[in-house]
A and B are shown apart, each in its own frame.
Chain A
Amino acid sequence: LAKTTQPISMDSYEGQEVNITCNHNNIATNDYITWYQQFPSQGPRFIIQGYKTKVTNEVASLFIPADRKSSTLSLPRVSLSDTAVYYCLVPTGGGNKLTFGTGTQLKVEL
């Protein structure tokens, strides 16, 4: 079964918009897609959750195409403090329930 995959790493500069994509080819019909942020030696923290189209909150947007086989986390105007690992979570999409995606290390520089 396909895993939930993400790019290993991304680099950006302060003030830029960052888009991180997660591929979840075998997402189930009723799966919600959730994104988490993790700093070193800390537990992951919830960022945003969606089911289809677009969701926006105070820190991020989540774009989900019609086929729902991928999703994109968008972070507007990143700052140094956004340097972290970002994970997507699709409950059954990884073939192993509640398994997180492979994670994307985002590094933001001045």
Chain B
Amino acid sequence: DSGVTQTPKHLITATGQRVTLRCSPRSGDLSVYWYQQSLDQGLQFLIQYYNGEERAKGNILERFSAQQFPDLHSELNLSSLELGDSALYFCASSVLSLRAGFAGELFFGEGSRLTVL
């Protein structure tokens, strides 16, 4: 158990809909990262927050948004869903904001599997 909790574990919805994925980081971790993993694909970095502020942005679509709340949990909002958005969405957390010069480990949750029909 990594200590990172993601809900829901599974979600099935229809095209055009909007969903919210939730992540609770490990106790004490200030940084949250979101990744998308489509079937048999690698891990695509979406966005990172550190202590409530956006710190880095990857290949995140304009239809997607995220935020980190004062209690440090984070939510990833996916709207106007398309079939291609079906994927595993992982949240990870770390104590520090991992970037050049900062060693550290990412702790991943078990993911939220989104299926868009």
Contact = CB atoms under 8 A, between A and B. Distances in A.
Interface of A: 28-32, 34, 36, 41-46, 49, 51, 87, 89, 91-92, 96-103
Contacts of B33: 98
Contacts of A44: 43, 90, 92, 106, 108
Contacts of B56: 97-98
B103 interface: yes
Interface residues of B, number: 30
Nearest to B44: A99
Contacts of A29: 100
Interface of B: 2, 4, 33, 35, 42-45, 48, 56, 58-59, 88, 90, 92, 98-111, 113
From B35, B56, B102, B106, residue with most partner A Cβ within 10 Å: B106
Contact of A43 (B100, B102, B105, B111): B111
A29 B106 CA distance: 21
A32 B106 CA distance: 13
B45 to A, nearest CB: 5
A92 B58 contact: no
Contact of B105 (A46, A51, A102): A46
